[in-house]
Amino acid sequence: MKLKMKIKRAALESGARLYLKALPWRSDLAGFMLMPVEKLNGTGKMVRVIRSAQKQDHPLFKVLVRLATEINPRCRSSFLSHHMPLLIEMPKADGSFFPKVLIISVTSRCNYTCPDCFNNTFSEKSDLPPEVLDRILFEAEEKGTKIVAFSGGEPLTRRDLFEIIERHPGLYFQIFTNGSLISDEAAKWMARLGNVMPFISLEGDKTLTDKRRGVGCYQKVFKAMKHLKRNGIIFGSNVMVTPDNFDSATSDEFVKKLVSAGAMAIWYITYRPVGKEPNPELVLSRERHFELYRRVQTIRNTWPVVALENLHDVSYFGGCPAKLGVAIHIDHKGNVTPCPPLHFSNQNIIGQTLEEALAASPFIEEIMNTECSGCIILEEPSRLEELVLKTGAVETGEEDELKNLRSYTSPGIRDLKKPFQTRTSEDIYGRLMEVFRDG
């Protein structure tokens, strides 16, 4: 990272921490938490949107009130001091090749055997070696990465995970987990670290969750949330949406239960037909994709929770995070892939830096040059096959993913960007997205 950028980043983080310590953090002041950065580049618009939310008593302002009143000071300070500089420095993709968000499948081990899991392709049960993981994280921190998402397998099967996180206080970690291993002791450790945000997987109601994950799994999720809420930790839930759980996972009853349990965010991820025994029938149609996003809009304009939907929200910024060079994935073997469900690679970080691996990957370069508005797996499977063959990328799992691509036909979900733009401008969240996108 250039010295000038290091100094700027350090100043922003230091200023954010000092201000957050000084704030009385009463709910009536929560809407003004960003006032000190109003004069910094690109943030004046953001502050005005938040003030507008306060005047309207919009759920977005209520999210800030929850952040002020439900979250412990260490976790709150870490969350804002890590994310604020990221937003200020990067209102839109800057063309750099090093990812601002890093997704790492730290293990292939999992204590569950969920069907249709896109990471359920590995027969070899192993972890990414801790020395390799540490090296990647130190490099990411040096290059300006702020957010690291740990996935798996089940990340919390690694007993060294919190010790690794503790060595990297300059990064903010999201952990995508089934929640079964979050004890009160684990929650206390997260609270002490401060820079950890778990996302716990659910399918919707108890019947749907236990059917896919096993009897008792639903109860374990809310037991984990109880530990997290008690310790004042910021956490969310992620849901893989299919036609089977669409209604349950987007219902007011489901959202209300999550908010009551303490969840600050809901991340809706649409099913991709990859991995072990892919099922194209679980892919949402074009109409259902639009319906999902309309429902997500309603949720975040009704409930005090940040609701996001992976396909439309990323398309508004010009394409998937891998295409924009914003995010990249490393699997448990060290293979560098565009994203977790895309099991093709022609570079590995074992024996070289991530920067070297990215620079030497024609597959990643081709993905970044596509014109796909959202997810290439869903929208252009035949184009994806062409890129794999053209660049010599190899399959990273044991399934025949090329065969799967040839047998899958896109449900016609191309060109999602324009309809999305006309809808998001109608709400406060859409206005915030415009600020982050346009600066």
Per-residue pLDDT tens over the stretch 236-258: 999 999 999 999 999 999 999 99
Output the six-digit token pair for 372. Answer: 């796909």
- Reported for 352-359, long-range contacts at CB under 8 A and 24+ positions apart, including other chains, are 353/139, 354/98, 354/136, 354/139, 354/140, 354/328, 354/330, 355/97, 355/98, 355/139, 355/143, 358/97, 358/98, 358/99, 358/328, 359/97
What pLDDT shows up at residue 41? 44
What pLDDT shows up at residue 14? 59
What pLDDT shows up at residue 97? 65
Task: Name the pLDDT band for 266 (thresholds 50, 70, 90).
Answer: very high
Rounded to the nearest integer, the mean pLDDT of the chain is: 83
Dihedral angle at the C-alpha atoms of 140, 145, 146, 148, nearest 10 degrees?
Answer: -60
Tell whether omega for the bond before 179 is within 30 degrees of 0, i.e. cis.
no
* SS3 category, 348: strand
Residue 370, pLDDT > 60, answer: yes
- The mean-pLDDT minimum among 68-82, 220-234, 421-435 falls in 421-435
- Cα 423 to chain centroid distance, Å, stands at 22
Instruction: Decide if 201 contacts 176 (C-beta within 8 A).
Output: yes
Q: What is the pTM of this model?
A: 0.88
Q: Which CATH class is domain 92-434?
A: alpha beta
Instruction: Decide if 427 contacts 400 (C-beta within 8 A).
Output: no
By percentage, how much of the chain surpasses pLDDT 70? 77
Q: pLDDT tens digit string along 413-436?
A: 665 555 445 444 456 776 776 666
How far is Cα 260 from Cα 66, in angstroms, rounded to an integer?
11
* SS3 category, 102: strand
